[in-house]
Chain A
Amino acid sequence: QQQVKQSPQSLIVQKGGISIINCAYENTAFDYFPWYQQFPGKGPALLIAIRPDVSEKKEGRFTISFNKSAKQFSLHIMDSQPGDSATYFCAANNNAGNMLTFGGGTRLMVKP
């Protein structure tokens, strides 16, 4: 019940295209869903996060869509750029503690 399943494992998108990464969870106690971006040789950095009281959150070119009934959430990167090439991790947390459960990661490559 603590798993967060992330797909795809890798993704290649043309510059200007839309990158979509999906995550699914089982634990209905999860109430915080962040996305992290990691460049090679660096630590992950918080990109955007959502709570289940909203269905969508947008920050610049990055949007999280959240479907509570399906227990799924996704990251959309609009107008993808080569500089977006990185590994993206979804995660989930619940208010019983502060432990994040991470998805397996998606390696995104944006081709010029």
Chain B
Amino acid sequence: DGGITQSPKYLFRKEGQNVTLSCEQNLNHDAMYWYRQDPGQGLRLIYYSQIVNDFQKGDIAEGYSVSREKKESFPLTVTSAQKNPTAFYLCASSMVVNYGYTFGSGTRLTVV
């Protein structure tokens, strides 16, 4: 079955640590996206990538970094510079010319 897989489902981070959230898709989609969702809130775009080895900042990129070395993979690193990282992180993918997004099931990150 084609889909988009995020791991881990739950992640705990100590203050000052960097953590990396995984996102893998086997849909042959060109574009991939990372969103942050806070409780009861909407979706805020962190980073997106439309082709391999290229990515763009979204609305709230500060404290985050990404890479796109393979079409299938778009990992997100939450760095220690992100002062309030506790949130639900969603990865999505799409074809460049097909407007629908497919979302992963999310990673809930908690700072302990």
Contact = CB atoms under 8 A, between A and B. Distances in A.
Interface stretch (B14-22, B61-69, B72-80, B100-108): B100-108
Contact of B106 (A32, A42, A49, A105): A42
Contacts, number: 52
Given A43-B106, A98-B50, 4 more contacts: A45-B103, A46-B101, A98-B31, A100-B101
Interface string B1-38: 00000100000000000000000000000010000000
Interface of B: 6, 31, 40-43, 48, 50, 88, 90, 92, 94-106, 108
Nearest to A34: B100
Given A49-B100, A93-B99, A98-B99, A42 B105 contact: yes
Interface of A: 32, 34, 36, 41-46, 49, 89, 93, 97-100, 102-105, 107
